[in-house]
Amino acid sequence: MNNSETWHYTTDVLIVGSGAGALTAAVRAADNGLNVLVVEKTELWGGTSAMSGGVVWLPNSPLISAAGGEDSIAEAREYMRRVIDNPEQHARIDAYINSTGKLVQFLNDSAGINLTPNPHYVDMYPDVVGAKWQYRAHEFDPIDGALLGDDIHTLRRQHPQTTLFGFIGWTANDATILQTRAPGWLKTAFGLVAGYFLDFPWRLKSFRDRRLVLGGSLVAGLRMAAKIRGITMWLSSPVTKLISDDIGVVGVVVQRDGHEVRVRARRGVIIASGGFERNTELRNTYLPRPTDARWTAGSPGNTGDLLMEGLRLGADTRFLEEAWWGPTTLVPGEPQARMLIIEKNLPGSMLVTRSGDRFVNESSSYTKVVKGILQANNNGGESVPAYFIFDANYRKRYPCGPVYPSSVMPDWMLTRRLRKWLYKANSLEDLAEKLGIPPRRLVETAGNMNLFATSGTDKMFNRGGSLYDRIYGDQTNKPNPCLGAISTPPFYAIKVYPGDLGTKGGLHTDEFARVLNVSGHPIRGLYATGNCAASVMGSAYPASGATLGPAMIFGLIAADHIGLHSEF
């Protein structure tokens, strides 16, 4: 069906979604001289990208050497090939590594967006050949949200865990300093709070921090670039159908203001509609059980609509059983799960099953911890939920979810909502009783941890044995920054689930981001990037920023490929 009389709107490129992948593709396509329409399902733009930490993994970017680091295509390729361990991905891996410089140049020169390589982030497998211990993860400079005009009101908010007190913006660097109590943490905290409250003119207008950081600054920078180029964005407009003829995809059906709008896309459709993490049925079909849509930290609109449409048109898929796993906890009153990123690495804590046993190196990567939870559960260990246990010393020094250290937020300050979430007891036995764990076993497990803390060696799971583990530990804690005694009452616990930041399996694409059918041929006019596409990272999670990086790079590549190929 391509009769122009049946179309309500015509554009060159139709982009589904408004996250990092979508907006990168939109701006680049406009720079390639194409008309672009961005269509977002929810009433807010930005997707999970806007809620995120905004860290983008760009190995061998030209900014690394400028920051004093060293990297090369050969090292990046070696690292990715070893960690991802999937020859089918080699062409995409090469396309990714070869395009990091192009992305940086595009963001800087065309969109006026600046990034800085972060000195604190280590690749998740630091001992693998080609790994780097700093600078591959890049962060976006903060942006003044007032420059967005009214669009700031429809920008999806940061996830509560990526803000100070749930509303003050902080950079990844600030967060690391505060959460690990690195030197200068008090000054950093004071500066952030003062900056927010002293912004009088804006405070009169809005509670929202206009200093956009992390994922907020990433998508805001792109949105500003899109606005300058006159790119139209429709909100509250889900794409419900891909329209194809016998050549390929030629448009979409959008639900808009209660009507079906048929949009013709003369040059192509780029799907950037996120994963299916919010779809219980699809989770049950594809992800390892048990699973639950409440355990994801991802954006509410991400229900896999376009994955299903791709399947209907004969697209192939990969890695549907995979997600960007992360141990999550459900804080009452918060709309999405929170991931435990730093908490699990800090000393004086452990994860146990319902039977009171440890089962994993708590300080290992998020993926490994979730795989550990699922494996323990499959082996009959009742680890869903698992319990994250810590003592008063931990509570005094470190944050856990929305609860700040008791030195600044003592227990009497906790609201009822938080007291419902945080279990507390004066002895480990009493805590065990509350959780339904055999008390003697929990005491024994904590006793083992206390021995490991003294010796500095976790004889069971080697927690704190790798550089990655230690980077989020407490550097002042000796001899091992991740190991501490759990011996000072009162004791605390929260429930932990095998959650995620989003799914990562989806439509099978090639190195040009073209969606492939089950025979391995591109479906003409159809591209995919971000979590709706099967990840170039396969089942691995090589580094922080390994989800936003590919979303943006393959968005750029898709826009370039469409730019080079003529109308059909």
Ligand X SMILES: Cc1cc2nc3c(=O)[nH]c(=O)nc-3n(C[C@H](O)[C@H](O)[C@H](O)COP(=O)(O)OP(=O)(O)OC[C@H]3O[C@@H](n4cnc5c(N)ncnc54)[C@H](O)[C@@H]3O)c2cc1C
Question: Which residue, 180 or 302, is less far from ligand X as judged by CB?
Answer: 302
Q: Does position 169 bind ligand X by CB under 6 A?
A: no
Smallest distance from ligand X to CB 136, Å: 12
Give the Cα separation of 384 and 325 in Å (integer): 14
324-353: contacts with ligand X (CB under 6 A): 324
Q: Does position 138 bind ligand X by CB under 6 A?
A: no
Question: Which residue, 212 or 431, is less far from ligand X as judged by CB?
Answer: 212
Give the Cα separation of 53 and 140 in Å (integer): 10
Tell me how far apart the terminal alpha carbons of the chain are, to the nearest angstrom: 13
Question: Which residue, 338 or 358, is less far from ligand X as judged by CB?
Answer: 338
Which of helix, strand or coil describes residue 559? helix
**Nearest alpha-carbon partner for 503 in 347, 291, 333, 313:** 291
Question: Which residue, 53 or 142, is less far from ligand X as judged by CB?
Answer: 53
Radius of gyration of the chain (CA): 24
Task: Count the helices and strands in the chain (H runs, E runs).
Answer: 18, 23
Question: Which residue, 348 or 401, is less far from ligand X as judged by CB?
Answer: 401
Single-letter amino acid code for the residue at 361: N
Give the Cα separation of 296 and 499 in Å (integer): 5
498-537: contacts with ligand X (CB under 6 A): 501-502, 530-531
Of positions 60, 161, 179, 364, contacts ligand X by CB under 6 A:
161
Q: Does position 18 bind ligand X by CB under 6 A?
A: yes
Give the Cα separation of 360 and 376 in Å (integer): 9
Q: Does position 142 bind ligand X by CB under 6 A?
A: no
Smallest distance from ligand X to CB 122, Å: 14
Single-letter amino acid code for the residue at 403: V
Burial, 430: exposed, middle or buried (Cβ in 10 Å; 0-12, 13-18, 19+)? middle
377 and 390 in contact (C-beta within 8 Å)?
no
Single-letter amino acid code for the residue at 400: C
Which of helix, strand or coil describes residue 315? strand
51-110: contacts with ligand X (CB under 6 A): 51-55
Q: Does position 217 bind ligand X by CB under 6 A?
A: no
Smallest distance from ligand X to CB 93, Å: 16
Give the Cα separation of 556 and 552 in Å (integer): 6
Q: How many residues bind ligand X (CB under 6 A)?
A: 45
Question: Which residue, 498 or 502, is less far from ligand X as judged by CB?
Answer: 502
Smallest distance from ligand X to CB 106, Å: 17
Pick the piece of the chain touching ligand X (CB under 6 A) from 36-44, 124-132, 447-455, 509-517. Answer: 36-44
390 and 491 in contact (C-beta within 8 Å)?
yes
**Nearest alpha-carbon partner for 162 in 53, 324, 48:** 53
Phi, psi angles (nearest 5°) of residue 496:
-130, 140
Burial, 292: exposed, middle or buried (Cβ in 10 Å; 0-12, 13-18, 19+)? middle
Q: Does position 399 bind ligand X by CB under 6 A?
A: no
Instruction: Fill in the per-residue mask, 221 to 250: x = in contact with ligand X (CB under 6 A), - = not in contact.
Output: -----------------xx-----------
DSSP character at residue 73:
H
Instruction: Fill in the per-residue mask, 277 to 316: x = in contact with ligand X (CB under 6 A), - = not in contact.
Output: --------------------xxx-xx--xx----------
Q: Does position 154 bind ligand X by CB under 6 A?
A: no
Q: Does position 251 bind ligand X by CB under 6 A?
A: no
Instruction: Fill in the per-residue mask, 257 to 276: x = in contact with ligand X (CB under 6 A), - = not in contact.
Output: ---------------xxx--
Q: Does position 218 bind ligand X by CB under 6 A?
A: no
The residue assigned the tokens 């968005």 is 555
Question: Which residue, 331 or 435, is less far from ligand X as judged by CB?
Answer: 331
Binding site for ligand X (CB under 6 A): 16-22, 39-42, 47-49, 51-55, 159, 161-162, 238-239, 272-274, 297-299, 301-302, 305-306, 324, 501-502, 530-531, 544-548, 551
